[in-house]
Amino acid sequence: MKLELVSKEKGNQKACFEVDGVDYWFLNSMRRLMANEVPVLAIEDVEFRKNDSALYDEIIALRLGLLPLTTELKSLSLKENCTCKGAGCGQCQVVMSLKEKGPKMVYAKHIKFKDPKIECVYPEMPIVKLDKNQELEFEAIAVLGKGKEHVKWSPGLIYYKYYPLLKITEKCKDGCKACVEACPQGILESKGGKLSINDKKLLDCHLCKACVEACPHGSVKLEQDETKHVLYIESWGQLSFKDIGLEATEIFENKLLELAKLIKK
């Protein structure tokens, strides 16, 4: 198995990898573990003291639940695994509050966390607009959870595709450019009547085969390499892409160890 980093964005939120020598089912298991089993923090309980805004309590609570919060997995534990046995303590829940008066737009940055290490990933996310003298006041609790329970606890978008194998055969000589115009990703280029593939953009290919269909001479060949994949991890911001990957492998390992124990029994 080979894993090669193709590109990553600033802040380690988004990364693209070439994965060689694994079957799709293995990669799909990893994808599901990353998206559905790696826990992150999200607001779960909101107690409203005042809400004069135009939005119902439930709608504001829903919006709060979807705010990505920075998650430090080492210092937090899932409620069901916590030493407090689910009663709620500093290790399994994060307390926060907000008290604002209009006229103003209430943003994520206005939430005050008891633990200063935790913050909203995107401080400029709007929550609700308050009119003159309207007030919003609440206390809320965030807990760790898993994406399989609710998408607000999913750490990001994880997806993969087969590696594209794009070839131009010798038959192409008239430089009709039909394939260049058909490709929605701009992967094919034509310079001075000569057709070429832009290698830098090759991984943008989503195997739509528009180039193959557009070519009147059958000169463009597009296939998928079924032993090689392109994997994308796009974090919503709670964890870095590296943490998402590492945590998923740890969860996988624990699941296999548990299975081994059961088989031995």
Residue keyed to tokens 């008066």: 101
Binding site for Zn ion (CB under 5 A): 82, 84, 89, 91-92
Assigned token pair, 112: 């005050």
| Identity of the amino acid at 41 | L
Handedness of CA 67, 72, 75, 80 (dihedral sign): positive
Residue among 180, 241, 231 at smallest CA distance from 21: 231
Least separation, in Å, of the C-beta of 140 and Zn ion? Answer: 17
60 or 76, CB closer to Zn ion?
A: 76
Least separation, in Å, of the C-beta of 77 and Zn ion? Answer: 7
Residue among 134, 136, 92 at smallest CA distance from 110: 136
89 or 256, CB closer to Zn ion?
A: 89
Q: What is the largest CA-CA distance in the chain?
A: 74
